[in-house]
Amino acid sequence: MPKPIVNALIVDPWQMVAGLWARRELIGQFTHRNIELRHRGSRLGALWALINPLSMLALYFVVFGVFFNQRFAVLPGETRYDFSLAMFLGLALFHAFSETLSWAPAVITANPNFVKKVVFPLEVLPVANMGATAFHLLVSLGLVLVGSAFGTAGLSLHVLWLPVLIVPLLLLSLGVAWILAALGVFLRDIGQITAFVSTALLFATAVTFPPDKIPPELHFLRLNPLFQIIDLARRAVLWQQSLPLHKLAYVYGCSLVVFAVGAVFFALLRKSFAEVI
């Protein structure tokens, strides 16, 4: 007897998400493998986890901090160093999401053996890739915390808000990853679209300029939860401001909705993966 539609929509995604904890060792193994694969064959190895974000920071700092003389103008007497820290924090959080857009569309099609020849929990593949992305995010955030100790505002207990903001970022990213991974099986061109979307989001989330410079007619850009996560992280970690709880609740609400939609979407479409690949 085929499962009722309601059961397919509710039970399967819930079982998929609930089963992630039982498969934590498998996820850990694949996460470790993904981290190694990213740096395999390079002479500097895992040092690229530090070099890549620092090189991107240097590039954007020269362009926006020196050539365009941008400032966030939140701290009194804000220096170029303070500006670079704020931009680096934004880049670190944004890059975690943009990485998802990069690898998610091909994460299933790149592993056809897991789809056809063995019984494998395919939902683990995006989760393991997210684990590798989270590792590089933590490295970058570690650099931010070290650097903020030498900034104008210094380091304070407000940094404890950072884990609170990382959780919705990862939930949001994983939900999007499940959606793109499922779509990528049926629409191979989606990877080309996400490359453009990633570039557009870089500017739409005010990573390299103050949010106040967004014109009123584009105020809807603030509805993007990624925009809010980056803004709240800067306010808490670097500017030592209290976080508006209604914005924090909004971020968590959006992230949980995207996570749930991603789980349902992936659970429904994965039954057809083997027929397409």
pLDDT on residue 116: 79
**What DSSP string runs through the chain?**
-PPPHHHHHHHHHHHHHHHHHHTHHHHHHHHHHHHHHHHTT-SSGGGHHHHHHHHHHHHHIIIIIIIS------STT--HHHHHHHHHHHHHHHHHHHHHHHHGGGTTTT-HHHHHTS---TTHHHHHHHHHHHHHHHHHHHHHHHHHTTSSS---GGGGHHHHHHHHHHHHHHHHHHHHHHHHHH-TTHHHHHHHHHHHHHHHTTSSS-GGGS-GGGGGGGG-HHHHHHHHHIIIIIS-PPPPHHHHHHHHHHHHHHHHHHHHHHHHHGGGHHHH-
Per-residue pLDDT, averaged over 28-41, amounts to 84
pLDDT above 70 as % of the chain: 91
94 in any annotated domain: yes
22 in any annotated domain: yes
Q: Work out how many domains the chain is built from and give that number.
A: 1
Res 7 pLDDT > 60: no
Sign of CA dihedral 50, 252, 197, 111: positive
pLDDT on residue 92: 92
249 in any annotated domain: yes
276 in any annotated domain: no
Per-residue pLDDT, averaged over 120-141, amounts to 93
pLDDT on residue 45: 58
Q: Are 66 and 58 in contact (CB under 8 A)?
A: no
173 in any annotated domain: yes
d(CA 204, CA 224) in angstroms, rounded, equals 9
pLDDT on residue 41: 59
pLDDT on residue 46: 60
Range from 2-6, 54-58, 79-83, 134-138 that averages highest in pLDDT? 134-138
**pLDDT, tens digit, for every residue of 157-203?**
899 999 999 999 999 999 999 999 999 999 988 988 998 999 999 98
224 in any annotated domain: yes
pLDDT on residue 196: 92
Phi/psi for 71 (5° steps) reads: -145, 150
pLDDT on residue 262: 96
Per-residue pLDDT, averaged over 66-93, amounts to 85
Domain containing 18 equals 5-270
33 in any annotated domain: yes
275 in any annotated domain: no
Per-residue pLDDT, averaged over 68-77, amounts to 81
